Amino acid sequence: MRKNLTPTIESGLLAAMTVILGLVTVYVPLLGMLTEFFCAVPLAVLTARHGAGKGLSALVVATLVLSMLISPILSLRLAMSSGVCGVILGWCVWKKFGATRIFFTTLIAASMAQVVTLALLLAVLDLNFIETQIEILREAFDESFKMYESMGVDPARIAETKSQVDPALQSLMILIPTLLMLSALMSTVATWLTSRWIFPKLRLTLPKLPSFAEWKFPAIFLYMAAFGGIGIYWGFTRGWNVIYEISLNLTIVAMIIGLIQGLSLMSFIFDRYKVSKFVRRFLYVLLILNMFLLQLVAITGLIDTLFDYRKRFFKD
């Protein structure tokens, strides 16, 4: 941005850029998948330069314009998934927060935005976006099964596969809170990465997160997994559906955090013993392909949140 631009003109230009990126996201299939990651950047830049007032104003204007050009539902989704992340991240930069605080503040705001979006869709349009997506998946599976039947695949095998698909789709319905959290996490990561790339080009500074080998989470996630496991058992054996659903979501979130912590611990050990990149990549691929090893790394990561193996066994 040129220095002689007034804040008002700059706000208008960046709001217009947000609208253009939103249109490309909706109307250009392949390129749109990429540009959606950049939708938050103009608002992040504007807010980082001029504060939350300008950023929120530009977000409202861009959302209204997109509502007229595409549809209110799509514009609301873009505003809540990307726009909110951009404004909050930019505001944190404007306030000169540290990297970790910026990331988690943006993640919390993104999670709240996802919940608000789902609530608005349910209240105004009686539309559950996640249920709609699951129904689309169910229809896609049904079409696939019909195709396999026409190809002469054994009906018994198709019936067995169908019996496995339905419970999996039902589990997705139970895991709506976790899916919302993961969606918010993806939006936050996308906003962070794109901002890390764009900000230096505009003479803005986004602090660096600690190296992955230094990531540590609080021990509360270990307790969350433990209580979640107990809740799953009680809920399943005694028919307490609400307890079962809450516990399942808590356990999966805790296991995801444990997996990240476990991978961070692995990265620390690799750095400590100077493991080659080839061996690292081989072990990561092996983990991805083996569910048991993934669970083992996640459990190790959860225990590490309490005992901190790096301090206990790798003292300098």
Range of 280's domain?
Answer: 212-313
Q: Is residue 264 a contact partner of residue 213, using CB atoms and an 8 Å limit?
A: yes
Instruction: Clarify whether residues 219 and 106 are in a common domain.
Output: no
CA angle (256 as vertex; 254, 262 as ends), nearest 5 = 100
Task: Please state, in angstroms and rounded to a whole number, the distance separating the CA atoms of residues 213 and 270.
Answer: 9
Q: Report the mean per-residue pLDDT for the chain.
A: 85
Instruction: Clarify whether residues 107 and 28 are in a common domain.
Output: yes
pLDDT at 267 over 50: yes
Is residue 192 a part of any domain in this protein? yes
> How many whole angstroms from its chain centre is CA 198?
20
Segment 69-95 shows an average pLDDT of 88
Segment 40-47 shows an average pLDDT of 93
Instruction: Clarify whether residues 92 and 191 are in a common domain.
Output: yes
Instruction: Clarify whether residues 69 and 181 are in a common domain.
Output: yes
Segment 302-316 shows an average pLDDT of 83
Provide φ and ψ at 275, rounded to 5°.
-70, 140
Is residue 134 a part of any domain in this protein? no
What is the pLDDT confidence band of residue 316, given thresholds at 50, 70 and 90?
low
At 4 the pLDDT is 60
Structural domain total, the chain: 2
Helix (H) or strand (E) holding 120: helix 99-124
Q: What is the pLDDT of residues 178-208, one digit of tens each?
A: 888 888 999 999 999 999 999 999 889 899 9
Instruction: Clarify whether residues 60 and 32 are in a common domain.
Output: yes
CA distances in angstroms from 140 to 30, 174, 232, 284, listed in the order given: 21, 20, 30, 31
Is residue 298 a part of any domain in this protein? yes
CA distances in angstroms from 120 to 22, 126, 160, 172, listed in the order given: 20, 9, 38, 21
Is residue 137 a part of any domain in this protein? no
